[in-house]
Chain A
Amino acid sequence: MSVLLIAEHNNKEVKPFTFNAITAASQINDDLHVLVIGKNADTVAKSISEVPSVKKVIHVDDDIYENYIAENYTPVIVKYAENYSHIVSSANTFGKNLMPRIAALLDTSQVSDIIKVISEDTFLRPIYAGNAFATVKSSDKKKCVTIRPTSFDPAPTSGGSAEIVKGENTDSSQNTKFVKKEEIKSDRPELGTARIVISGGRGMQSGENFKLITAIADKLNAAIGASRAAVDAGYITNDHQVGQTGKVVVPDLYIAVGISGAIQHLAGMKESKVIVAINKDGEAPIFSVADYGLEADLFDALPKFLEELNKLNTIQK
């Protein structure tokens, strides 16, 4: 029984959720190996080798792995899968795209998006947008599992010195070509890992009005989120969407502004430690999950909120 985790990275740095996935993977079995597939990704392999819970790093490097194309990654992973009982990755768009392709070729029924490891074959996972939790037991010999990163703490990133083994690449796919990536760069904390998230919904009425949210996010060093309605309306880009089909966040503080609280949105944020809702509709479902609800017009409340924050002597960062 050994676990093979597929690392997510950008060829230079490890993506933070890989460390959360490492924690979950090592709970399945402590003989944890990590597969790093990339182009000139030596620094990535090195960083992962320093994670104390990682026993071995397999590094497969080739030009064809510069961009993350599932069709190119899959044959390598399937080849190495032979020696492992579990293949694991994070359940973000990286793992969601990749893992089922691997599972199907291994003829394994995948267990998606687990939030708890109960034993080597039994896991807890949310279904119906988190409105029910299912305990599931896999009977497949080889198990493919994706992990909801926000349900596990990130593993410590230093102190270890796992062996790094060079692996062999496989052929590249002629059928899929990377064209471009429009990555939205921001100096703010990442939405998935931020301590504070402030999100706007349809109630914001325009993209322009999101500057009210931005000002508070700056003050609190918060990430900016949005409901699907706000993204659909074009107020803000898709990478900000929180919810069943967007990102799942569990910050210490989640501030929902002008968001009614459809179950699809609640699915992405209701595990947050403290939830604040600001909405002028006192009956909005968002208030049912809020620790602190403020029934008010957001266009009055947000400037006042900023004013009050400015009065504080100290703000936790």
Chain B
Amino acid sequence: MKILVAVKRVIDYNVQIRVKEDGSGVVTDNVKMSTNPPDDNAVEEAVKIKESGKAKEIIVVSVGEEKAQETVRKALAVGADRGILVKASGTIEPLAVAKILQKVVEKEKPDLVFMGKQAIDDDCNQTGQMLAAILNWPQATFASKIDVKENVLEVTREVDEGLETIEVKIPSIVTCDLRLNEPRYASLPNIMKAKKKPLEQIDASELGIDIKPRIEQIKVEEPPKRKAGIKVASVEELVQKLKNEAKVI
């Protein structure tokens, strides 16, 4: 079995986001970048499945600027076998990413495609479902547990009401939740080895698909700030304030 894992390079989750003064976006210059956190879970799960003997090869793919190579290399350092970078600049909307991934899937013919459930930059939560739709494959979104069985996956999904379990036939798409597993760190020798693993670069323009944005970002602004609050000295004071000042209890 072959697993394709899609990863995205995003502003690190610990970075305090700053909005550009001209309203054109958020500051990305000299800001620490990392792999989108749930994409790390997707890579980890693929590696675990390979270690269990149920998968033979893991291909990791990213769509973005040249620098997204780092994101691909990081996945190679924790156990993916080879990488693909589809180079594209500017805003690539989830629908466009799904169309790019469709081309990669047609070429590589994986049995499973894993990715994070949501990117923490645009918070769209779309790409996996869109890819599943255009491939006409089943989708298992928000996965917190994956069992690989004969020709099917049994997937536990985190939903608003609790947990749901579904069975999807292979080939299928899984989008991963942060609770799926604990991503490992790459060891130094493995980081060195990853530098020698193959990383193919493709230009998105060679794929013959329209990836122009359909959504115009008119303005990006800071959310309204909360008024600074106060510290209370005691529980008694807190309850009194909630009762008589805020009038919420």
Contacts and interface: CB of A to CB of B under 8 A. Distances in A.
A304 interface: yes
B134 interface: yes
Interface in A89-141: 92-94, 96-105, 107-113, 122, 126-140
Given A104-B130, A130-B223, A175 B172 contact: yes
A187 interface: no
A192 B159 CA distance: 13
Contacts of B167: 176-177, 179
A275 B121 CA distance: 26
Interface of A: 69-71, 74, 92-94, 96-105, 107-113, 122, 126-140, 173-184, 192, 196, 220, 228, 231-232, 237-239, 244-245, 247, 252-253, 263-264, 270, 273-276, 282, 287, 289-296, 301, 304-305, 307-309, 312, 315-316
Contact of A131 (B17, B141, B246): B17
B160 A110 contact: no
A101 B128 CA distance: 9
A128 B147 CA distance: 32
Interface in B200-249: 213-223, 226-227, 229-232, 234-236, 238-239, 241-243, 246, 248-249
Interface residues of B, number: 81
Contact of B232 (A183, A263, A273, A294): A294
Which among A128, A176, A252, A270 has the greatest number of chain B C-beta atoms within 10 A?
A: A128
Nearest to A295: B231
Contacts of A110: 94-95, 124, 126, 130
Q: Is the interface of B mostly helix, strand, loop or mixed?
A: mixed
A294 B131 CA distance: 48
B123 A104 contact: no
A127 B248 contact: no
Nearest to A15: B160
Which among B17, B118, B229, B249 has the greatest number of chain A C-beta atoms within 10 A?
A: B249
B38 interface: yes
B164 A292 contact: no
A274 B248 contact: yes
Contacts of A173: 138
Given A109-B214, A127-B121, A181-B163, A264 B248 contact: no
A262 B160 CA distance: 21
Given A100-B129, A109-B95, A175-B169, A290 B229 contact: yes
A132 B219 contact: no
Contact of B218 (A98, A105, A136, A316): A136
Contacts of A127: 26, 121-123, 220
Contacts of B230: 291-293
Nearest to A95: B125
A136 B217 CA distance: 5
